Structure 1
Amino acid sequence: MSETKKIPWRTRLHEIIYEADTPAGKLFDVILFIAIILSIILVMLESVNSFDDKYHEFLNISEWVITILFSFEYIARIITVKRPIKYITSFYGIIDLLSTTPKYISLLFGGIHALAALRALRLLRVFRILKLVRYLGASNMLVSALKASRAKISVFLFAVLILAIIFGTLMYLIEGEESGFTSIPTSVYWCIVTLTTVGFGDIAPITPAGQLLATIIMVLGYGIIAVPTGIVSAEYTSQNKNNILRKKNKVALNSQSCAYCLAENHKDGAKYCHQCGHGLHP
């Protein structure tokens, strides 16, 4: 009898934490969203010495409240899934752990002056902002577009690196050490800075041939910037068309999360996980 009571309880808690189709799930996401924002604001305010000196006690207590809140959330996420290791070793599981533990570490080693540098680990709590991606609807399409275009972008970046090596080598041969191009790596660095239109100005060609090559590189840089933007935009448009097609065919996706493998984007009315085949409501 006790086992039959535990299963519905874990199922309901799983739906609240991992899904957003129910009122309780939406409320949980809103509260978590606000807590994440407050946590980031506290980290920022703590870095302002004048504010920290005046409100240190308030900041410390607030940080502990939020840290305990996220600790309970982390534990709840572990106990509501069938395979806890799957969540713990997942990307967001690691983020959740890293963003919660620094406060406890600073408590354990706070009295040791030599380990005062461990307080810098508190900055890891800023990683909680990465969790916000899960609560922005349009971000799913953007992430899918980036994943779909990663091969094209990788080839593009490799081509840019080859161009930087070629142009950097040519600039080293043209200008030489007198103009600050002391080595090929330094020249490649200058070429990358110029291609990306950053232009620190620490190195500049002085010969007419070098200036002509620099002009070509700078003009090429503006064209290069547009390439990855076009690749991602095309994939994003494709993802948007797929979503429209699914809506026309009445194939809706919900926020159901599998308790076994944590897979999402299941169809409405689906009884089994599309990835591992387990029931969605054990």
Structure 2
Amino acid sequence: MENNKNNQSWKEKLHEIIYEADTPAGKLFDIILLIVIVASVIIVMLESIKGFGERHYNILNWSEWVITILFSFEYIARIITVKKPFRYIFSFYGIIDFLSTVPKYISFFFGGVHALAALRALRLLRVFRILKLARYLGASQNLINALKASKAKISVFLFVVIIVSIILGTIMYLVEGEENGFTNIPKSVYWCIVTLTTVGFGDIAPQTPLGQFIASLVMILGYGIIAVPTGIVSAEYTSQKNKEITGKDVHLNTQSCSNCSAGKHMDNAEFCYNCGHKLNHG
């Protein structure tokens, strides 16, 4: 009985350090983790530099192995400290943690795969926990809802843009012709999309006065087109804000439930909103 209690105690303590950033130990763990992640990404980038990577191969390789082993222990610790490990394993962060750990091991069988370790940069998203940006998750949720509500309107808008690009591309093909680089309609449509989005690679350019006039209209039209999706999403975002009930200032913290791994709990919450399990307060 005593052993079970002690076993539960160290798991809860480790869970608090790994999954939460509201305690000094948790914050220190996350800061160290971010430093290691940044170091790992830099090492992968340095390995890709021809000459430098070859000269310092041993140092870079051993450093990468040390970091990979540390990440492996961390990944295992995350699994054993939660009561429902599969919930973490198949979560967004769980998948990212796994993908950031396995490339070095896979490189034993497939060369060059270790470069995928650059995926560890995605783990820097944990900076939200350290800086307590989770307090603003309500605003980010409004933005997500606005994007979802705008999906149909934006889809119709993009469909219209594609049709306009095909029409204008075909016109430019007829006006400019093969001698000016518009060798076929698909390539002309490509030019129109590049011009319409104001990217302008410059690999194809109209030479005739009429073609240059049409190109000018396309570029002006491009500025207007860029503003349309912004207006659609902004309108929906305003609508979402109006629907939001703001009776009081609600803050969310980084606390994670040890039973179901649910996060984003309100400050001073005693129980998990998802499963009702009592939360551990450090």
TM-score (ref. length: structure 1): 0.81
Determine the C-alpha separation between the residues in 1 that align with 2:37 and 2:241: 29
Are residues 198 and 145 of structure 1, via their aligned partners in 2, closer, same or farther at CA, if it must alter by over 3 Å?
farther
Equivalence map 1:62-211=2 (5 Å): 62-106=63-107, 108-109=108-109, 118-136=110-128, 137=131, 138=133, 144=141, 147-151=144-148, 152=150, 154-155=154-155, 156-211=157-212
> Do residues 258 (structure 1) and 257 (structure 2) align?
yes
Determine the C-alpha separation between the residues in 2 that align with 1:254 and 1:148: 21
SS of the equivalent of 1:100 reads coil
SS of the equivalent of 2:83 reads coil
Equivalence map 1:266-281=2 (5 Å): 266-281=265-280
Which blocks of at least 5 consecutive residues in structure 2 are unaligned? none
Letter in 1 for 2:144: K
Following superposition, the deviation at residue 239 of structure 1 comes to 9.4
Give the equivalent residue in structure 2 for 1:112: none
Cα deviation, 1:21-51, whole Å, max 9, x if unaligned, reads 1111100110001001100111111112322
Letter in 1 for 2:120: R
Cα deviation, 1:45-101, whole Å, max 9, x if unaligned, reads 111232223322111111111111111111111112222222212222122111111
Following superposition, the deviation at residue 167 of structure 1 comes to 2.5
Following superposition, the deviation at residue 231 of structure 1 comes to 6.1
Letter in 2 for 1:150: L
Are residues 174 and 102 of structure 1, via their aligned partners in 2, closer, same or farther at CA, if it must alter by over 3 Å?
same
Following superposition, the deviation at residue 222 of structure 1 comes to 2.5
Letter in 2 for 1:147: I
Letter in 1 for 2:115: L
Determine the C-alpha separation between the residues in 2 that align with 1:20 and 1:238: 33
Question: Is the CA contact (8 Å cut-off) linking 2:270 and 2:278 kept in structure 1?
Answer: yes
RMSD: 3.2
Question: Is the CA contact (8 Å cut-off) linking 1:42 and 1:63 kept in structure 2?
Answer: yes
Q: Which moved more, 1:35-44 or 1:263-272?
A: 263-272
SS of the equivalent of 1:172 reads helix
SS of the equivalent of 2:212 reads helix
Following superposition, the deviation at residue 103 of structure 1 comes to 1.1
Question: Is the CA contact (8 Å cut-off) linking 1:145 and 1:232 kept in structure 2?
Answer: no
Determine the C-alpha separation between the residues in 2 that align with 1:261 and 1:47: 40
Question: Is the CA contact (8 Å cut-off) linking 2:145 and 2:240 kept in structure 1?
Answer: no
Letter in 2 for 1:105: I
Determine the C-alpha separation between the residues in 1 that align with 2:41 and 2:240: 31
SS of the equivalent of 2:186 reads helix
SS of the equivalent of 2:190 reads helix
Are residues 275 and 100 of structure 1, via their aligned partners in 2, closer, same or farther at CA, if it must alter by over 3 Å?
same
Letter in 2 for 1:262: S
SS of the equivalent of 1:119 reads coil
Determine the C-alpha separation between the residues in 2 that align with 1:56 and 1:125: 16
Determine the C-alpha separation between the residues in 2 that align with 1:135 and 1:238: 30
Give the equivalent residue in structure 2 for 1:115: none
Determine the C-alpha separation between the residues in 1 that align with 2:30 and 2:19: 9
Q: Which moved more, 1:189-198 or 1:136-145?
A: 136-145
Letter in 1 for 2:81: T
Question: Is the CA contact (8 Å cut-off) linking 1:82 and 1:259 kept in structure 2?
Answer: yes
Determine the C-alpha separation between the residues in 1 that align with 2:24 and 2:66: 25
Following superposition, the deviation at residue 9 of structure 1 comes to 2.0
Determine the C-alpha separation between the residues in 2 that align with 1:257 and 1:205: 59
Are residues 275 and 173 of structure 1, via their aligned partners in 2, closer, same or farther at CA, if it must alter by over 3 Å?
farther
Letter in 2 for 1:122: H
Are residues 145 and 119 of structure 1, via their aligned partners in 2, closer, same or farther at CA, if it must alter by over 3 Å?
farther
Are residues 146 and 85 of structure 1, via their aligned partners in 2, closer, same or farther at CA, if it must alter by over 3 Å?
same
SS of the equivalent of 1:49 reads coil
Percent of residue pairs identical = 59
Which blocks of at least 5 consecutive residues in structure 1 are unaligned? 110-117
Following superposition, the deviation at residue 183 of structure 1 comes to 3.3
Following superposition, the deviation at residue 220 of structure 1 comes to 1.9
Are residues 18 and 162 of structure 1, via their aligned partners in 2, closer, same or farther at CA, if it must alter by over 3 Å?
farther
Are residues 20 and 47 of structure 1, via their aligned partners in 2, closer, same or farther at CA, if it must alter by over 3 Å?
same
Give the equivalent residue in structure 2 for 1:30: 31
Following superposition, the deviation at residue 224 of structure 1 comes to 3.1
Give the equivalent residue in structure 2 for 1:13: 14
Letter in 2 for 1:124: L
